[in-house]
């Protein structure tokens, strides 16, 4: 018995002397990365492009423009980067800032010319001016003669022709066939913009099937963050062609664009498509989303804070609403549109007609 007790005591003592294995310390989780925090511009081009999109999603258009400027500083002979700077400046309404930045950089003459041409063409597309158009047409022709196979210059020329020429197919379609298509066989930087420009020309030429094929190719070639912006053009083409369901689908895609201004245009277009599909609830939801993107989340929307296109579209939509409060909002919106200096004559007449029907 004593021997058994002694043996048990010895075993217990041995157990106490065996070292327990060290316990693993819990791993500290890496802090989440704030996409809106300030950070150096990456050396890798794809990472830098992603940073531009992140800054836009954070509402920091100035920060996105600063990244574009830095990328152009690193490659002052890159017409592609000059195009990107001018395009973002136009989109963010910061052209004066971009002009000053481009002026301060030691750009090569072709790059400086590419920046100026992009700026001028985009401004013209927003507000076509026949007096300016004639001079700009000569600049575009000269650029085409010098930049034989530059996708960005070709895309600018085609976008300009689509607005400036009475029959864009006459000059633009051969450019797509003879100069753009060979480039698109071996895609490179700028190919997505070029494919989209030719897609629009195809729609304007009465060739929607070819236009759809080219727009689909443009989305294939585009970077993930650029695809929604290109979808805006396709959606507008389908809307004009009366293909309302496809237009709505594409406007939904465009609503994922990094830029708030592009998302606003997508929401506005989606509202138009849904209204024409007689889906009043979805159309109103889209217009309210567009208003929120312009910093007006209130309901009823204060007319003095909405742009004219929303005054008219939302007011027209609510004019036949069953709810009295919605019709009251429609009256306020349509009155504001009828008095707006930016209203066009046809819509102003329609707004006044709706106001008479609403009794006020």
Tell me, letter by letter, the H, E, C secondary structure of 33-61: CCCCCCCCCCCCHHHHHHHHHHHHHCCCH
Q: Binning pLDDT at 50, 70 and 90, where does residue 10 land?
A: very low
Residue 76: pLDDT above 90?
yes
What sign has the CA pseudo-torsion 325, 327, 330, 335?
A: negative
307: nearest Cα among 270, 276, 337, 262: 337
**Cα–Cα dist 329/287, whole Å:** 14
pLDDT band for position 188 (cuts 50, 70, 90)? confident
Question: And the tokens for 238?
Answer: 């389908």
User: Rounded to 5 degrees, what are φ and ψ at 175?
Assistant: -65, -40
Tokens at 264, concatenated: 């606003």
For the chain, give the longest Cα–Cα distance. 118
pLDDT of amino acid 30: 52
Give the range among 66-75, 162-171, 351-360 with minimum mean pLDDT: 162-171
Give the residue, 287 or 29, on which the prediction is more confident. 287
pLDDT band at 26 (very low <50, low <70, confident <90, very high): low
Please tell me the pTM assigned to this model: 0.86
Residue 83 near residue 114, CB atoms below 8 Å:
yes
Q: What is the pLDDT of residue 253?
A: 96
CA distances to 116, 122, 289, 295 from 329, rounded to whole Å, are 44, 35, 17, 18
Tell me: pLDDT of 92 over 60.
yes
- Mean pLDDT for all residues in the chain: 90
Q: In this structure, is the dihedral angle defined by the CA atoms of residues 255, 264, 128 and 113, taken in order, positive or negative?
A: negative
Band of pLDDT at residue 22, cut at 50, 70 and 90: low
State both tokens at 303.
Answer: 């007319």
Query: 145: which 2 tokens?
Result: 């003669």
HSE of 177 in the Cβ direction (CA atoms, 13 Å)? 8
Helical segments of 75-129, H only: 79-91, 95-104, 109-126
Of the chain, the percentage scoring pLDDT greater than 70 comes to 91
pLDDT of residue 359: 87
- Angstrom CA distances, 47 to 53, 54, 223, 254, stand at 10, 10, 12, 22
Range scoring the smallest mean pLDDT among 28-37, 58-67, 76-85, 90-99:
28-37
Tokens of 154: 């070709």
Residue 104 has pLDDT above 80, yes or no: yes
Q: Kindly state the average pLDDT of the residues 12-22.
A: 48
Neighbours of 108 (CB within 10 A): 14
Over residues 5-19, the mean pLDDT reads 45
Sign of CA dihedral 203, 206, 212, 215: negative
| 95: phi then psi, degrees, rounded to nearest 5 | -65, -40
Smallest CA-to-CA distance from 315 within 260, 302, 342, 240 is with 302
Pairwise CA distance, residues 243 & 320, whole Å: 25
Answer whether 313's CB lies under 8 Å from 270's CB: no
């Amino acid at each position: 018995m004593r021997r058994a007790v002694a043996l048990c005591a010895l075993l217990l003592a041995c157990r106490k002397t065996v070292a327990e294995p060290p316990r693993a310390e819990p791993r500290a989780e890496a802090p989440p990365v704030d996409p809106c925090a300030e950070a150096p511009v990456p050396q890798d081009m794809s990472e830098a492009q992603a940073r531009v999109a992140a800054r836009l999603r954070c509402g920091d258009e100035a920060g996105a423009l600063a990244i574009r400027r830095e990328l152009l500083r690193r490659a002052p002979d890159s017409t592609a980067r000059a195009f990107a700077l001018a395009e973002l400046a136009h989109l963010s309404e910061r052209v004066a800032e971009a002009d000053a930045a481009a002026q301060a950089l030691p750009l090569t003459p072709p790059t400086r010319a590419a920046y100026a041409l992009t700026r001028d063409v985009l401004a013209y597309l927003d507000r076509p001016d026949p007096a300016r158009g004639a001079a700009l047409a000569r600049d575009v022709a000269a650029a085409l003669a010098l930049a034989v196979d530059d996708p960005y210059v070709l895309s600018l020329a085609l976008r300009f022709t689509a607005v400036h020429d009475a029959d864009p197919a006459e000059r633009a379609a051969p450019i797509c066939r003879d100069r753009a298509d060979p480039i698109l066989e071996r895609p490179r930087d700028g190919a997505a913009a070029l494919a989209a420009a030719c897609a629009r020309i195809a729609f304007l030429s009465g060739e929607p099937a070819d236009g759809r094929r080219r727009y689909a190719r443009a989305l294939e070639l585009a970077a993930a963050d650029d695809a929604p912006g290109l979808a805006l053009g396709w959606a507008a083409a389908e809307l004009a062609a009366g293909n309302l369901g496809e237009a709505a689908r594409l406007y939904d895609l465009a609503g994922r664009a990094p830029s708030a201004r592009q998302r606003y245009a997508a929401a506005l277009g989606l509202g138009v498509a849904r209204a024409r599909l007689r889906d009043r609830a979805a159309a109103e939801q889209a217009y309210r989303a567009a208003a929120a993107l312009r910093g007006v989340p209130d309901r009823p929307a204060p007319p003095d804070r909405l742009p004219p296109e929303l005054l008219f579209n939302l007011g027209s939509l609510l004019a036949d609403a069953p709810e009295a409060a919605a019709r009251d909002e429609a009256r306020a919106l349509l009155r504001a549109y009828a008095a707006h200096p930016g209203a066009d004559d046809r819509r102003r007449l329609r707004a006044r007609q709706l106001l008479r029907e609403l009794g006020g």
